[in-house]
Chains A and B, each alone.
Chain A
Amino acid sequence: MAVNIGLKLFKRELTPSEVVKKSREDRFLAREIIDGIFTDFVELHGDRLSGDDSSVIGGIAALNGTPVTVIVIDKGIDIHDKLSKRNGSPEPWGYRKAQRLMQQANKFHRPIVTFINTPGAFPGKTAEAQGQGEAIAQSILKSMKLTVPMIAIIYGEAGSGGALALAASDQVWMFQNATYSILSPEGFASILWKDSKRSDEAAAVMGLTPKDLLGKNVIEYIIPESRNHPRVFNLIRKRLDDEFRTLNTLTPQELVKQRRARFRAF
């Protein structure tokens, strides 16, 4: 049966608020993604400045035998884990760890792949004191200067600058039931209409589904989902391999120019 489900899209198209709900379910887990797509993963901890944020998993691994840098936002598995990872809301030192690994990748000419699943950067006291804004700003700026290919994959929700910090890349892909938006629908409704309960309505007008975003060229590709996870991972591995090969034919200057032009179009 599972095989028959294959990689076909759901028969009925989900409404935006249904996609929002699905995007927040633990359909795919961070560690499962890493183990399912890559081999020889070596985790690297810490930002070398102030600490290690467990909500951002980073390291080096092999993609079909080729070294890559992998950065994954992790929401956690059980309640305790989710609490310690603030449901996938990185602290500034999480973004600074990502920056360190991006620059390390640049040094060794390794492509970078990020997997994003976050409601947003953590709105905390320490986060603010340690420069959450600066951490995101520098992640974006440093991404713009990378001379290695970078592909960002949104596998759950992707909210605001906290998601963009890891998605200022050559390509952005989304899982079929993922979302990407300026803010959560709840936050959007509460800011614009002073009523967070109107989140379904907000979801409908925000254009946050993969289909909407593909139409606006915010993303390049929608990854079909399946309960057969190995099939999804095989597809991602193959496609990453293909796209990195293509991007690697560009000179570093061409690559940077193309990445900046991608965002210049908005």
Chain B
Amino acid sequence: MDLYDNQKSTSRIKRDASVNDRIPDGLFLACPYCGVQLYNKQLGRYRVCAHCGYGFRLQARERIELLTQSFEEMDSEIEMTAPDFPGYAEKLERAKSQTGLGESVLTGLATIEDEKVALGVMDSYFMMGSLGTMTGEKITRLFEYATNRSLPVVLFTASGGARMQEGINSLMQMAKVSAAVAAHQEAGLLYLVVLTDPTTGGVTASFAMQGDVTFAEPHALVGFAGARVIESTIHEKLPKDFQRVETLLENGFVDQIVPRAELNKMIARVVKLHHVREV
């Protein structure tokens, strides 16, 4: 219990320095989805557009604060050690100081509505949530941990795709995480994905689309190729909402779109329905 309380307080300290908290209450913000102007204060605790229900992008620690009763971070020491691509070390340093994270994902053991889960939350404020070697390492360890302890995995995806600076190693993470997902699946354990804005590229083409149950937040952008790349390839304008999760739901790639405020209860319900029945 003490451990959890400590974790909570550290995460609260970090949260105070977060991007969203630095916005003054009285400031006007335009909803990135519907364009309606809102006072920052109007977004409320969940940071949701009052007009269309779009969930503003959260930092990983803010998400964990909203979602969990307790959170014990794991593998917090894992960071990229020798970034050798020109300019990469500086970019990483900036991302670290802006987010208070060591990588683009935060992983740990969490309690959501009294259900114990292995939780991963990607952070789009950390180099666009790109899939670096250490991002892949942390997610892989999360699955391995969950497989060894027979726990469900809940993963919130948010990513611009591959981490270009890491080249082929970034690509290999898609296979590395998939191998860990395969082992977790074979153990008969639940993998629940929550697609958040934005989830694209290599993350969409791997673990974001390997869940047993796939939820999404309203109006989140989810796709494989970038809209501009598609438009310049097919010489055609894409329709509005082409890569929004409402379209993915229609096309059969999402199980349910769940408003942010209801995610806790829905995740817990699904986890509960996967409890192994005792005879």
- Which of A133, A138, A218, A264 interacts with B223 by CB under 8 Å? A133
Bound-state CA distance A145–B184 (Å) is 12
Bound-state CA distance A136–B225 (Å) is 12
- Indicate if the CB atoms of B238 and A125 lie closer than 8 Å: yes
- Indicate if the CB atoms of B171 and A160 lie closer than 8 Å: yes
Bound-state CA distance A209–B136 (Å) is 24
B20 within 8 A of A: no
- List residues of chain A with CB within 8 A of the CB of B204: 133-134, 137
- Indicate if the CB atoms of A164 and B175 lie closer than 8 Å: yes
Q: Mark A205-241, 1 if CB is under 8 A from B, else 0.
A: 1111000010010100000000000000000000000
Q: Mark B188-213, 1 if CB is under 8 A from A, else 0.
A: 00000000000001101111111000
Given the contacts A132-B224, A266-B133, A218 and B168 also touching, CB distance less than 8 Å: yes
Given the contacts A160-B171, A264-B179, A188 and B225 also touching, CB distance less than 8 Å: no
Given the contacts A138-B210, A182-B164, A266 and B172 also touching, CB distance less than 8 Å: yes
A6 within 8 A of B: no
A73 within 8 A of B: no
Bound-state CA distance A145–B209 (Å) is 16
Q: Mark A167-183, 1 if CB is under 8 A from B, else 0.
A: 01000000000001111
| Residue in B closest to A145 when the chains form the complex, CB atoms | B182
Bound-state CA distance A191–B204 (Å) is 18
B174 within 8 A of A: yes
- Which of B178, B242, B253 interacts with A140 by CB under 8 Å? B178
- Which of B167, B233, B238, B247 interacts with A206 by CB under 8 Å? B167
| Residue in A closest to B233 when the chains form the complex, CB atoms | A123
- Indicate if the CB atoms of A145 and B236 lie closer than 8 Å: no
B148 within 8 A of A: no
**B interface majority secondary structure:** helix
- Indicate if the CB atoms of A181 and B168 lie closer than 8 Å: yes
- Indicate if the CB atoms of A144 and B233 lie closer than 8 Å: no
- List residues of chain A with CB within 8 A of the CB of B243: 128
Contacting B at CB under 8 A, from A146-197, are 160-161, 164-165, 168, 180-183, 188, 191-192
- Indicate if the CB atoms of A125 and B224 lie closer than 8 Å: no
A198 within 8 A of B: no
Contacting B at CB under 8 A, from A222-266, are 259-260, 263-264, 266
- List residues of chain B with CB within 8 A of the CB of A140: 174-175, 178, 205-206
- Indicate if the CB atoms of B178 and A168 lie closer than 8 Å: yes
- List residues of chain A with CB within 8 A of the CB of B86: 205
Q: How close is A83's CB to chain B, nearest CB, in angstroms? A: 12
Bound-state CA distance A137–B206 (Å) is 4
- Which of B171, B201, B233 interacts with A124 by CB under 8 Å? B233
- Indicate if the CB atoms of B208 and A137 lie closer than 8 Å: yes
- Which of B172, B225, B251 interacts with A218 by CB under 8 Å? B172
| Residue in B closest to A202 when the chains form the complex, CB atoms | B164
Bound-state CA distance A133–B195 (Å) is 13
- List residues of chain B with CB within 8 A of the CB of A63: none
- Indicate if the CB atoms of B205 and A264 lie closer than 8 Å: no
- Indicate if the CB atoms of B164 and A263 lie closer than 8 Å: no
A138, A140, A145, A191, most chain B CB atoms within 10 A: A140
**A interface majority secondary structure:** helix
- Indicate if the CB atoms of A182 and B140 lie closer than 8 Å: no
B80 within 8 A of A: no
Given the contacts A133-B223, A140-B206, A263 and B230 also touching, CB distance less than 8 Å: no
Q: How close is A167's CB to chain B, nearest CB, in angstroms? A: 8
Bound-state CA distance A124–B229 (Å) is 9
Bound-state CA distance A109–B170 (Å) is 32
- Indicate if the CB atoms of B168 and A131 lie closer than 8 Å: no
- Indicate if the CB atoms of A125 and B234 lie closer than 8 Å: yes
B168, B202, B224, B234, most chain A CB atoms within 10 A: B224
Given the contacts A128-B223, A181-B168, A182-B168, A133 and B209 also touching, CB distance less than 8 Å: yes
- List residues of chain B with CB within 8 A of the CB of A123: 224-226, 229-230, 233
A-B pairs with lowest CB-CB distance, top 10: A123-B225, A133-B204, A266-B172, A137-B209, A133-B224, A260-B179, A161-B205, A136-B205, A144-B182, A134-B209
A to B CB contacts below 8 Å, 26 in the list: A121-B205, A121-B224, A123-B233, A124-B233, A125-B234, A125-B236, A129-B247, A129-B251, A130-B251, A133-B222, A134-B204, A134-B209, A136-B205, A136-B224, A141-B210, A161-B202, A161-B206, A180-B168, A182-B171, A183-B162, A188-B164, A205-B86, A263-B176, A263-B178, A266-B133, A266-B176
Task: A125-B234, A263-B175, A266-B175 are known; give 13 further A-B pairs, CB within 8 A.
Answer: A122-B233, A124-B225, A125-B238, A128-B223, A128-B224, A129-B242, A137-B207, A144-B179, A160-B171, A161-B174, A183-B164, A192-B165, A205-B85
Interface residues in chain B, defined as those with a beta carbon under 8 Å from any beta carbon in chain A: 85-86, 133, 136, 140, 162, 164-176, 178-183, 185-186, 201-202, 204-210, 222-226, 229-230, 233-234, 236, 238, 242-243, 247, 251-253
